[in-house]
Structure 1
């Protein structure tokens, strides 16, 4: 039987999906900032991925524990953990569905702002800028609110998933999609936020990216990707592209969602004519022009590599 939560029916209700794993150093601060959200009623669905620290104890003993539903289904990574939550959580009783990391700090107005922008724009989903911060005190605004491009969803997310907020209809439709996905292909998905953005845009729904930063985005050694600030981090990202992982993810997402566009056709068939058609749309491949040009360059590199075997 699903756990029943007390609700304030006069406020918008939000289901927050949180993937946890060995996050006890930061979890209390994150939970406190979620439950401090203004003008909304928040409940958390947390799935723990086999923590060996005190993460579960913190969830169970938090002063708002009555508003936290905890499961312990091992998934083997943050992306799969979030997809598991999106597939299995009882979302139908909530007005909105949001995603949360275990280690950030949210501004009290984060949800109120998201709800206001969703209502004003009539969009189906929302994300925003974030402010990255490091243990040494450095802070940096990570800007994601560039104008949307025709095919950007093929090659990037809308930003960190911890900023995502979906309307109920969108969340339930995405949940239905995930439940119907072939499990072998869904298991290949590494980045839940990328496939969520790709599904929303690829199915003709609308997305609003806010130029507001609603959270402090904690950077540490355990970040799956995080914000790059070093040559080593940039080298790791280049490796993801050069070893084929990036385009494998893009193709897997496209096949799962059923994208029908020039970029998806090239990734699947690797034909020169499809590459040319894609490169003619190069500026539409990512929101930043420089990144779009880079993706176009790497697509051409990938084509040559696939034909010659050169790495």
Structure 2
């Protein structure tokens, strides 16, 4: 009934703790599929000590295509995505599977998590007002509440790491059939599920997410200095990122869920026009064009009030 799709690359330092945390779950998993992306350390050697199925890639695929391969090799009704260096809480599988079974409308379920460092020490986060999921999700969700995540929320960015997700076979097969690596795999999974009203978030920490220098995808702002953040925010590419992402999301969903797209076709076409013009305004530092766009409700879909103000400041800096 339960598969785990794990990808590895030079993960010898932490892989034992991750594997053992999966094997020691209160609800047992039926298979652990590991796709190794060309490790040169002892990762594969360590994995062979455990009851897991290891596939070694002939060439390096990168994390997006490697997760696609791992998911495609999973054979059961539910698939958990898994990194090589986290630690699962003992009831993670049981808790999430019970929620999925009690709510058949859920196709993808994300949980929250706790940060740990390289020595397993907790990294405490000060919770921002109106945020949850360690400030990654800009919405207040009560502790242990289960909430639906809407499609529009996924236009500018993703909020839940792949290692927080479990997905049913229907959505897994749909994602694999329409795989596109322009966006991270976890973003596409959640975004597609949300278009079918099947993406949910359970606000309880069910695993420990490790932060260290070798994360393939880290949470960058935690280790980024203020000056680095400001410098990046003042680049046109960064300021255009949300709108560029939203254009990809709209293009993807038109192919993957045409009925949903058709139900909002006029709105989505107008949104596309807004996004294209927005990028032009940023590229040309068109202050008055951006000021005019601030009257559009589309701007609020892709950026916070603070980000909209920063766009205007960016346009004034010649």
Q: What TM-score does the superposition give when structure 2 sets the normalisation length?
A: 0.72
2:154 is aligned to 153
Name the stretch that deviates more: 21-30 or 236-245: 236-245
Matched, 1:256 2:248: no
| Cα distance in 1, alignment partners of residues 67 and 95 from structure 2 | 23
Q: Does the C-alpha gap of structure 1 residues 150 and 168 become closer, same or farther in structure 2, counting only changes over 3 Å? A: closer
Q: 1:193 aligns with which of 163, 177, 186?
A: 186
Q: Quote the residue 1:5 is aligned against.
A: none
Structure 2 CA distance for aligned equivalents of residues 31 and 101 of structure 1:
10
Equivalent residue for 2:114? 131
Q: Is the 8 A contact 1:155 1:250 kept in 2?
A: yes
For 1:41, the equivalent position in structure 2 comes to 29
Which has more radius of gyration? 2
* Range moving further from structure 2, 259-268 or 155-164: 259-268
Query: Is 1:25–2:19 an aligned residue pair?
Result: no
Q: Secondary structure at the match of 1:41?
A: coil
- SS state at 1:216 partner: strand
Helix, strand or coil for the counterpart of 1:98? strand
Alignment of 1:157-172 (within 5 A): 157-172=158-173
Distance 1:149 1:237 in 2: 30
Structure 2's unaligned 5+ residue stretches are 126-133, 142-148, 255-260, 281-288
Distance 2:306 2:150 in 1: 15
Could you say which residue in structure 2 is the equivalent of 1:114? 96
Deviation at 1:174, TM superposition (A): 1.4
Give the superposition deviation at 1:267.
2.9
1:222 partner SS: coil
CA contact (8 A) 2:89 2:206 kept: yes
Aligned match of 1:78: 63
Instruction: Please say if residues 25 and 92 of structure 2, whose CA atoms lie closer than 8 Å, have aligned partners that are also in contact.
Output: yes
Q: Deviations over 1:273-295 (max 9, x none)?
A: 9x83884145544xxxxx73345
**CA distance in 2: counterparts of 1:226 and 1:58, whole angstroms:** 27
Q: How many residues matched?
A: 274
Work out the CA distance in 2 between the residues paired with 1:113 and 1:265.
43
Distance across 2 between alignment mates of 1:132 and 1:37: 20
* Distance in 2, Cα, partners of 1:237 & 1:127: 31
8 Å CA contact retained: 2:4, 2:29: no
TM-score, normalisation: structure 1:
0.74
The Cα offsets for residues 229-280 of structure 1, whole Å up to 9 and x where unpaired, read as 344288359727835253444433432333663544433454769x838841
Change (3 A) 1:204 1:22: same
Q: 2:79 aligns with which of 75, 79, 97?
A: 97
- The RMSD of aligned alpha carbons is 3.4
**Against the structure 1 CA distance between its residues 73 and 96, is the aligned structure 2 distance closer, same or farther, given a 3 Å change threshold?**
farther
Is 1:14 equivalent to 2:2 in the alignment? yes
| 1:130 Cα offset (Å) | 0.9
